[in-house]
Structure 1
Amino acid sequence: MSNAPEPDSDTAVEPAFPGPNDAERPKLERTVGDSQCGDPAFGERLSGGEEDADVLVSVGAPAAVAEAGAAPSAGSTPAAPTTSHSAGLTPFERVIPTWTDATVRRAADAIGGPLGRHALVGRSPILTPLRVALLMAILFLIFGWLAKSPCIQQTGGPNGTQVLDSSGNRQWITGCYNDIVPTYQINGLASSDFPYAPHYADDGTALEPIKYPVVVASFMWAVSQATNGYQALADSSGLLPKSLDVAVYFTLGAIALALLYLWAVASTLKISRRRPWDVAIMCLSPLLVVQAFSNWDIIPVALLAAAMLAWSRSRPLVAGVLLGVAIAAKLYPVLLLLALFILCFRAGKLRSWVVTATAAVITFAVINVPVALSYPDAWREFFVANIDRKDGSTSWYSIYSDWSGFNIFNPELATGQAPTALNAVSALLFLAACIGIGWLGLSAARRPRVAQLMFLVVAAFLLTSKLWNPQFSLWLLPLVVLALPRWRIALLWQLSEAAMWFLLMLSYATKGSDGNRYALLPQYPFQVMALIRDVLVIMMVVMVVREILRPASDLVRQAGDDDPTGGVLANAPDTRTMVSLPSMFRGWAARRARAAGARDPLDAEQDFPNSTEPGWDGQTVAVMTAATPEAMGPSMSRGEKFEYVGYEMAPEQNQLTCRYRLDGRDFTEVVVFPGGGDWTHPAVAEAARLVFLLTAVSYYKASAPPIIDLGKTAITDNERAFLYEFFVEGLGEFAFRNNPPLDLSDVRIVAPALERTRPVGFTPRDRTPLLPFGGGVDSIVSVEIIKPLAPGASLFVVNRPGDTFEAIEKPALVTGLPVVRAERLLDEQILRSRELGFFNGHVPVTGIISAIGVMAATLGGHDAVVMSNEWSASVGTVEVDGKSINHQYSKSESFEAGFRSLIADAIGGEPDYFSLLRPYTELWIARNFASLEQYFPTFRSCNRSFHIDKAHRLDHWCGVCDKCCFIDLILSPFVDATVLRRVFDAGHLDRQEPLDNPILLPKFRTLLGLSPDTKPWECVGDIHECQVATRIAVSRPDRAGSPILQALVAEMGEGADEMAPDSLLSPVGRHFIPERYAPADLLR
């Protein structure tokens, strides 16, 4: 999918900024209660739309700024800032680890406890996070050098010379063993010759060729030349301490590696943005102490970190160059290209990936080709050695062979013979892991972060590789910081690495006489510790996968950034996705469970209360089945002021970005339009302004303050009156169903006055309307009316990024019309309503989609936006104190008239905006639909066909929701009963046509107004329409014996108000349909 969020807005997630302790937690103005959800707004999905709760789609937008230095209150999240890679962060935008991580908080008790709420954060001009991190890393790098220093201790040798002291198993007992010291001697690095050139011992024996990649070999050679220079200077000056060449070589190499590691720390910290202190995981590192100077692996680690920093700054060319150098130092950095390809493919950013990949290939070639041509045999040695190697002692292959006694991975091999079976098994396992990671990257509801996918790929490589040398674990350090900044698991893993190293070293130590020597420690202890290390890495993999599937639990995204490493990917909409295997399995399991009759069909309704659902346009809405305010949960306080900040059009990205502020908390929404169109046309700017004005309601309702401040955005008197009605009436259901109900009559709109002289004007292409389409009865009828009248007609669909709904797409194919698509990405903070203490509920989303449709029309040259809102959409859902509250306000005639006036004032008479079905009843629409049999196999208005979670999204009618009941009832007078049973898949064991299911009688009674309950908070017809439909249906021979219809007719009784069917099967009421698009019966 798209950037899909957590499907359940009430899912408990770890707050981003839990306070240190109750005594220090300041009280925020709003308390956190249960999410206050609106109703399912599914009805006629895009044709006229539903009044749904918000589209909970993440744009990775910012959270609001916290009070200076204040820790948040219990159960609350302090404000987080705006997200801009170009702007620096203020001190208060940083995540405080002693507030957010339990392990760090407990550790802080030793030095005075967590940061207090009155602390001045980020005010020191000297001890910045970067400098403190570098100091911590330097300290642990010194520990690392001291840990290896026993291996460069010297003792007297023959003829008064000095030699390395390796007595008493020194390198094993102390754990100081490293590859740097022996390779200096084995590979003849003391000479001035290039390392790939042949080297010979003093007796003329050829030395072993170097088995390192070009960059590392060149680095080793440079250190050796620096060693020669140092020794010459020490000899000539007498001022510098003199030591063995190999000891100087090791020390200079350690200094150079330390500088590179500090570069890696700085790069990682700069990527981390809001979480700079996470980098302490790789600074205060037990793994760093034991492995920093075991080999040269810090070189590729630093280069890869720098490449990821360049990518995060949207510099794909620089990233490619650095990545090419990193690959020339060690092959594993090439895995970044795999991770980036998956994400760029999903986001439609392959051009950036191609730039990076091309630069990496060219850089790698520039470094390697001259060496390969000059020293072909020596250059190949690194690759040949890796192919010929057997499994490493810490790999699970080796441990399995030792413990099982079956040496299937390492049979007896001749000299130079590669372990073919082992290589094949390792490669196949890694390939399978990459396929799984790729599937995850393309199918997760929200696109994974770059660091998350890179961590998974590198961890999979290590876990499946035949060789996992202990120093290879350094590769994971920056990736853990960026992908999974959780201290407990990171420390446990690193401690297991350190423990395994010392146990491994002790297994190499021997004791006893020369003729009877044996290991000081058997292999089993280090093998057990190696498996524990593997388990801990697998646990981290599972945690990363979990956070990918449940982005609300991702600590990095909780801080307010979409993807700090993302660069061009950050906040980008998706263009390609896949269905996840877990979703397919859960859907299959759910169908099996229902087929087994696990519960009464009505119990399925309980899946929906307080959960998020997609709306008629494939967007996410909050659903609540109860109709009373008491069901909404504990009350919360209203805010003080909502502000319009501004909007920007980005023609290159076909995006409109709208920015708002609510009591200091910033919100950003992005709407993505189809490519093309003249973004410079004044009509497009005016349409964008309308979108800006109306989308605000999604954020305003988070605390519904009395003041709406438009800042510098001037509005006309007509716009002021319209906005007041849009906010107050459009949020009528939201306010009524709050506990206690909210009174929005005090809303005051503050804005400069605007005097228009004339509209900007717009000349569209004739008869090219856009028809918002949701795949239901209403929009299908509109399409079939329009098609013969408008050869240039197109469907219009607004979805979450990358997501589509079968219930829309299949009927859309039947229409034969082209589809114009837009995507709406809401600020991710709306996903966290409960956590952040927001109100949540029903908003007039059809009004928002109307504005988006008008802007799409101006961009595409369309002459009209044709809605499918029927007459009964203007009928209120409930009346309270003489005031009507309408679930379908933005489908009503009142909204249509007001919005038309806004368009006319700002743009002119075109694009026209009207509802084609305004003068018609649901009965008239149903009768017309009954003749459109080509749509019967595909149309679907069931709520559950639009579930945001694909695992719960049905590919059939559920047969039990209010919408299923209404559609069945309204079609029953005109469609044969056997046909409707086929429509509702009544042949399946777990499904029935609603009118055949006696347990649904209470729902039908509510539809007919026979129940004391209010009309369902759904897009369903008026009670009179339902009563007339019942009387007509029961008179049909195929329905005469229906127990439900008979019971309803009996309850209505003879004395009930019987409207004549003809009165509801003819045009009624006012409409705004222009003559060129008027149905035939309006022209008679």
Structure 2
Amino acid sequence: RGNQYKTIVESLSTSFQFIDYQFDTQTNTAQFRYRNKDIEFEECAEFETVADGYNAEALDKALFLAFILIGTSYYKTFPSQSVELGDHAIDAWQARFFNSVYQEGLSQFAFENNLTRENLTTFEPSGSADAAVDGYTAQDAKPLVLQSGGKDSLLLAELLKSKALNFSPWYLTNSDTHPRVLEGIEGELTLARRSLDRENLAKAKQQGGLDGHVPVTYIVLSIALIQAILAGKDTILTAIGHEGEEPYTYISDLPVMHQWAKTWKAEQQFAEYVKTYVAESIHVGSPLRRYSELKIAQLFVEQCWGRYGHEFSSCNIGNYKQGQANDTLTWCGNCAKCANSFLLFAPFVPPQQLADLFGGQNLFKKTSLTKTFKGLLEIDGIAKEFECVGERDELRLAYHMAHKKFDEYTLLFDVPESDFDHDREYPAQSWTERFI
């Protein structure tokens, strides 16, 4: 704690520097450079699909947005109360937007490192920002559809297919591979590769730098925005249901949230930023936003289980590690994400079928997961882990739905009943309705 406190005190007196960004047209690579204390970081994103005649002005505006959002990965090493943007002017709305990213978006990081909102940076308006590109026109009408190998994005792909809508599935990789399950999706898979500056992040850690969660969803969205513009597209579809709305706790007035960038408010803010500062005709949003996680699980079983049931995964322990191969997706059967998925699918999948995903294990019977399930269901005052998981009442309903259908679905402790309505429709951007 002493060394960590020393690191925090020292970093608060310095400024995080956004050095520059550029796009190399020879290699189709975006480069972003930052400086924190005496360490210079460089991150790259390489794009395979680039159309002739893409809108260079819109691209530059999207690169700037990604420049700021990606910066969270390097700012967090030595968090400071101020940042230096160089010659880049931002207006009051942009300042508020970036403050929400670097405060609400880093709330879990702050909580785990004993920081407060006051320890995090505040962006200040510095002038009038340039307006969005006027007259941005799509060359390719097919929406860019983000894919991960998880249930939500695969469901969205199947819903689009069922409506005979053409689309371009897109995957952001951090290795030389991508999940094989994505090859079964209709449409040519578009890839981009993100390369974090792991070497200098390790150097920062050796010098006492901090680590923690960043708003990854926003970072991925910003890179997807670059891809869409490079491909001449004007629609980006994500697969995010009604989730992430429950704070874990508070640091004074700062809600601590693992999934802040997945919330409805965050989606609205991102979409507004794009329309105001990038191109008014570019749409970004989730058609699944109107559904609860439990409803998405039900729809996935009904429409996707036969095709993807044994190839998809939502487990972050077994998959999706930086620089590791992600071609074959697995389930570890020991983490909160696996327990959460087991709860969500149990009402709709027979016990043996569901157990097959987890090496033949009925996760409800694993004593090593008792505390994890109690956390997800908020039993005995146990808090759920920082993970992308369902809401308490939603998961309690899922358990009772499953338990009433199958005796094998019985936990080792009592679970309160829930009146959660998993068929309820939540607010979503109206333009997304035509995709489902």
1:1010 aligns with 2:407: no
Q: State how 1:905-984 maps to structure 2 within 5 Å.
A: 905-931=276-302, 932=304, 933-946=306-319, 947-948=321-322, 956-984=330-358
Instruction: Give distance in 2, aligned partners of 1:721 and 1:826.
Output: 26
Structure 1 residues 998 and 666: CA distance shift in structure 2, 3 A: closer
Deviation digits for residues 838-876 of structure 1 (CA, Å, limit 9, x no counterpart): 111111111111000011001102231111111122222
| Counterpart check, 1:1066 vs 2:433 | no
* 1:918-947 per-position Cα deviation (integer Å, ceiling 9, x unaligned): 121111101101112211121111223224
Q: Which of the numbers 726, 739, 757 marks the counterpart of 2:101?
A: 726
CA distance 1:955–1:924, shift in 2 (3 Å): closer
CA contact (8 A) 1:959 1:993 kept: no
1:33-44 matches, within 5 Å, as none
Q: Quick one: which of 818, 821, 835 aligns to 2:191?
A: 821
With over 3 angstroms needed to count, the CA separation of the structure-2 counterparts of 1:651 and 1:634, relative to structure 1, is same
User: 2:369 maps to which residue?
Assistant: 1000
Alignment check: 8 A CA contact 1:914 1:1073 kept: no
Bigger Rg over Cα: 1
Q: How has the CA–CA distance of structure 1 residues 875 and 782 changed in structure 2, closer, same or farther, with 3 Å as cutoff?
A: farther
CA pair 790-823 structure 1, distance change in 2 beyond 3 A: farther
Structure 1 pair 656/955, CA: closer, same or farther in 2 (3 Å)? Answer: closer
Query: Alpha carbons of 1:844 and 1:744: their partners in 2 closer, same or farther (altered >3 Å)?
Result: farther
- The 3 A distance-change label for structure 1 pair 737 and 851 is same
Q: Distance in 2 between matches of 1:909 and 1:787?
A: 27
Following TM superposition, by how much is the alpha carbon of 1:984 offset from its aligned partner in structure 2, in angstroms? 2.0
SS of 1:821 mapped into structure 2: strand
Alignment of 1:461-860 (within 5 A): 636-637=8-9, 638-639=11-12, 640-677=14-51, 678=53, 681-738=56-113, 740-744=114-118, 747-750=121-124, 752-757=126-131, 759-765=133-139, 767-789=141-163, 791-802=165-176, 804-805=177-178, 809-827=179-197, 828-860=199-231
Question: Aligned partners of 1:658 and 1:641: how far apart in 2?
Answer: 17
Task: Name the SS of the counterpart of 1:872 in structure 2.
Answer: coil
Counterpart position of 1:894: 265
1:676 is displaced (CA, Å) by 2.5
Cα offsets for 1:327-377 (capped at 9, x unmatched): xxxxxxxxxxxxxxxxxxxxxxxxxxxxxxxxxxxxxxxxxxxxxxxxxxx
In the TM superposition, residue 669 of structure 1 has moved relative to its aligned partner by 1.5
Describe the superposition over 1:65-92 as per-residue Cα deviations: whole angstroms up to 9, x where unpaired. xxxxxxxxxxxxxxxxxxxxxxxxxxxx
Tell me what 1:862 maps to: 233
Q: Which has the higher strand share?
A: 2
Q: Distance in 1 between matches of 2:132 and 2:293?
A: 39
Q: Cα distance 1:724–1:760, how it changes in 2: closer, same or farther (>3 A)?
A: same
Deviations 1:461-490 (A, max 9, x none): xxxxxxxxxxxxxxxxxxxxxxxxxxxxxx
Alignment pair present for 1:1040 and 2:407: yes
Shift of 1:962: 0.8
Structure 2 CA distance for aligned equivalents of residues 683 and 766 of structure 1: 15
| Aligned-pair CA distance for 1:665 | 3.1
| Partner Cα distance (2:424, 2:139) in 1 | 32
For 2:7 and 2:41, how far apart are their aligned partners in 1?
A: 23
Contact 1:762 1:908 (8 Å CA) reproduced: yes
Q: TM-score, normalised by structure 1?
A: 0.38
Cα 1:1033–1:798 change in 2 (3 A) is same
**One-letter amino acid matched to 1:1016:** E
Instruction: Work out whether residues 131 and 276 of structure 2, in 8 Å CA contact, stay in contact via their aligned partners in 1.
Output: no
Task: Give the CA RMSD over aligned residues.
Answer: 2.6
Distance 1:959 1:1011, change over 3 A: same
Q: 1:884-918 CA distances to partner (integer Å, 9 max, x unpaired)?
A: 21100111112111111111012333321001221
CA distance in 2, matches of 1:949, 1:690: 24
Tell me the TM-score normalised to structure 2 length: 0.91
Q: Partners of 2:97 and 2:225 in 1: how far apart?
A: 17
Change (3 A) 1:634 1:953: farther
Distance of aligned partners of 1:956 and 1:1078 in 2 relative to their CA distance in 1, 3 Å threshold = closer
SS of the residue 1:1015 aligns to? coil
* Partner AA of 2:196 in structure 1: L
- The one-letter code matched in structure 2 to 1:1008 is L
Shift of 1:821: 1.1
Match of 1:1019 in 2: 388
CA distance 1:761–1:715, shift in 2 (3 Å): farther
2-structure distance, mates of 1:854, 1:757 = 17
Distance in 1 (alpha carbons) for counterparts of 2:263 and 2:284: 13
Alpha-carbon distance in 1 for matches of 2:326, 2:317? 7
> For 1:277-319, what per-residue CA distance to the aligned partner results, in whole angstroms no more than 9, with x for missing partners?
xxxxxxxxxxxxxxxxxxxxxxxxxxxxxxxxxxxxxxxxxxx
Q: Distance in 2 between matches of 1:903 and 1:31?
A: 42
Deviation at 1:815, TM superposition (A): 1.8
User: Percent of aligned positions with the same letter in both sequences?
Assistant: 25
Corresponding letter in the other structure for 1:863: D
In the alignment, which residue of structure 2 is the partner of 1:203?
none
Q: Which amino acid aligns with 1:1066?
A: R
When residues 790 and 716 of structure 1 are mapped into structure 2, their CA distance, relative to the original with a 3 A threshold, is: farther
Matched residues in 1 for 2:175 and 2:408: separation?
Answer: 48
Q: 5 Å matches for 1:437-476?
A: none
Deviation of 1:1010 after TM superposition, in Å, equals 0.8
- Aligned equivalents of 1:636, 1:954: Cα separation in 2: 40
CA displacement at 1:831 relative to structure 2: 2.5
Task: Give CA deviations for 1:528-561 in whole Å, capped at 9, x if unaligned.
Answer: xxxxxxxxxxxxxxxxxxxxxxxxxxxxxxxxxx
Tell me: CA distance 1:896–1:722, structure 2 relative to 1, closer, same or farther (3 Å). same
Partners of 2:183 and 2:189 within 8 A in 1 = no
Q: Partner letter of residue 704 of structure 1?
A: P
Q: Would you say how many aligned residue pairs link Structure 1 and Structure 2?
A: 429
Task: State how far apart, in whole Å, the 2-side matches of 1:980 and 1:710 are.
Answer: 50
What is the DSSP-based 3-state SS (H/G/I as helix, E as strand, rest coil) of the residue aligned with 1:693? helix
Q: Which residue of 2 aligns with 1:94?
A: none
- 1:1024-1066 CA distance string (max 9 Å, x none): 1100101111100xx224441x6333xx2xxx5x315xx2223
Q: Secondary structure at the match of 1:731?
A: helix
CA contact (8 A) 1:789 1:1077 kept: no
Relative to structure 1, is the Cα distance of residues 975 and 691 closer, same or farther in structure 2, using a 3 angstrom cutoff?
Answer: same
Q: Deviations over 1:620-641 (max 9, x none)?
A: xxxxxxxxxxxxx996433410
- Aligned counterparts of 1:684 and 1:951: Cα–Cα separation in 2: 30
Consecutive unaligned residues in structure 1, runs of 5 or more: 1-29, 34-632, 987-991, 1080-1084
Q: What's 2:397 paired with?
A: 1028
| CA distance in structure 2 between the partners assigned to 1:780 and 1:974 by the alignment | 17
Structure 2 unaligned residues grouped into runs of 5+: none
- Whole-Å Cα distance in 2 between the matches of residues 748 and 956 of structure 1? 40
Q: Which amino acid in structure 2 is aligned with residue 910 of structure 1?
A: S
